[in-house]
Amino acid sequence: MSECLYAKLANLRRKQAEGSSLQWGDECRQPTLLITYRLYNNIMRKAYRYRLYPSKSQVTLLEQTLEICRWVYNDTLALRKDTWEQEQRSISLYETNKILTQWKKDRPELKRVHSQVLQNVQMRVDLAYKAYFQRVKAGEKPGYPRFKGKGRYDSITYKQSGFKLDEVHLCLSKIGDLRVVFHRPIKGTIKTLTIQRSSTEKWYASFSVDYEPSSAPQKVAVTGVDVGLESFATLSDGSKIENPRFFRTDEKSLAKAQRRLSKAEKGTPERKKARKIVAHVHERIANRRLNFAHQTSRQLVNQFGTIVFEDLNIKNMQKNHHLAKSIADASWNMFITISQSKAEEVGSRVILVNPKNTSQQCSKCGMIVAKTLSDRVHSCPHCGLVMDRDQNAAINIMRLGLQSQG
């Protein structure tokens, strides 16, 4: 999952904390995270993701379904675009759903796909337009909704019906019984199911579930966390979490695979094979990074009742071309978002504070002690405090978090 998506999730969580309305579909239609958030009262929503093992004939049916959905997406987008250009009129989601009924009469192959799956395709177009107008209103780069090229539509969603489960199979309407590995049980009421194809042609099922979490005793321990590059994170008690640098570790093997891809002639089986090798390397890096974020955040949530992070603008930080690759490799935003998810599930708190001067201010006397990135030790000439600069920053972060809570 891209860093941009984690930034979007973090932003949506801030909106939720401010009392703004939040819908599951607004967060993510590509659920590779186990995202949890509170809906109402004590009901929470969570995503469970499982690996599917379809047969060759089922893969063919799934790919045909994706291509039909791609056609519906592109034609719905073209319809809305042409109507605006010709009539200066916007078409609503309800109107496109009515037109879909006529398309089914004109194109019998659309009947090979479950009705709610096709309706969800048009909902995605509607959400794309809503996001576009929000960006225009906010003065950001708009990014008009784009048509999907061949092989670029990779998921379908069953909203309320069209699927059922047993111990080892997932039955999909119009497709059949797919073998699935339930590595853990689903707890709660299933609301939606998304079938997704990865870049390495693996298939996954993601269930969105409403459930009521079990009450757990509130922990009183508090920590501030300063994320960095030399160490992935430093806690206010001085303990450090090493930076695994997953991308740097696999950078040579990725470069080698990319060179083979660039040399392969377009349209040949060799190029297709080389592309898949590149995708495998990227997938391995992403899986390791995600697993590390889940395990590390779980350790923090199990140990502390309140965890304080800096509210970093990572997009701006990546404009430093000397550090951009290392910052992207660290994936701080992913780590913070998953920590928020896990903390909310068990009744803990994650607080985000203004990062201004957290590294420069002395945690003992409060005076500003200027440092460069190469200065790794905080040495205060005013009070004589000498300690690791990251621990000093973590203490300041913890103090700001506690102050913000009164």
Indicate whether 196 and 226 sit together in one domain.
Answer: no
Indicate whether 204 and 96 sit together in one domain.
Answer: yes
DSSP string, 332-354: HHHHHHHHHHHHHHHT-EEEEE-
Q: Is 166 a catalytic residue?
A: no
Q: Is 18 a catalytic residue?
A: no
Q: What is the pLDDT of residue 201?
A: 93
Indicate whether 112 and 230 sit together in one domain.
Answer: no
The structural domain count of the chain equals 2
The 10s digit of each residue's pLDDT in 282-320 is 999 999 999 999 999 999 999 999 999 999 999 899 988
Q: What is the pLDDT of residue 13?
A: 52
Candidate list 27, 126, 226, 344, residue with the active-site label = 226
Indicate whether 188 and 92 sit together in one domain.
Answer: yes
Amino acid at 160: Q
Classify residue 21: in a domain, yes or no: no
Q: Catalogue the E-assigned strands of 74-175.
A: 155-158, 163-165, 169-172
Classify residue 11: in a domain, yes or no: no
Q: Domain residues for 109?
A: 43-211
Classify residue 99: in a domain, yes or no: yes
Classify residue 81: in a domain, yes or no: yes
Indicate whether 165 and 47 sit together in one domain.
Answer: yes
**Residue 304 DSSP symbol:** -
Candidate list 310, 329, 344, 345, residue with the active-site label = 310
**Residue 368 DSSP symbol:** B
Q: What is the pLDDT of residue 373?
A: 86
Q: Is 226 a catalytic residue?
A: yes
Q: Which of 62, 168, 46 is nearest to 117 (CA)?
A: 62
Indicate whether 178 and 77 sit together in one domain.
Answer: yes
Buried b (16+ CB within 10 A) or exposed e, 86-111: eeeeebebeebbeebeebbeeeeebe
Indicate whether 156 and 249 sit together in one domain.
Answer: no
Dmax (CA) for the chain in angstroms is 81
Indicate whether 334 and 268 sit together in one domain.
Answer: yes
Indicate whether 280 and 205 sit together in one domain.
Answer: no
Q: What is the pLDDT of residue 43?
A: 83
Indicate whether 324 and 246 sit together in one domain.
Answer: yes
Indicate whether 115 and 196 sit together in one domain.
Answer: yes
The 10s digit of each residue's pLDDT in 3-62 is 444 455 555 555 544 444 343 333 333 334 455 555 556 788 899 999 999 999 999 999
Classify residue 234: in a domain, yes or no: yes
Indicate whether 84 and 156 sit together in one domain.
Answer: yes
Domain end point (choices 182, 211, 240): 211
- Residues of the chain below pLDDT 70: 1-41, 406
Q: Are strands 349-353 and 43-53 parallel, antiparallel or unpaired?
A: unpaired
Please tell me the distance from the alpha carbon of residue 232 to that of residue 213, in angstroms, as a whole number. Answer: 30
Classify residue 228: in a domain, yes or no: yes
Classify residue 399: in a domain, yes or no: yes
pTM of structure = 0.83
Whether the CB-CB separation of 289 and 246 falls below 8 Å is answered with: yes
Quick count: other Cβ atoms within 10 Å of Cβ 135? 14
Classify residue 1: in a domain, yes or no: no
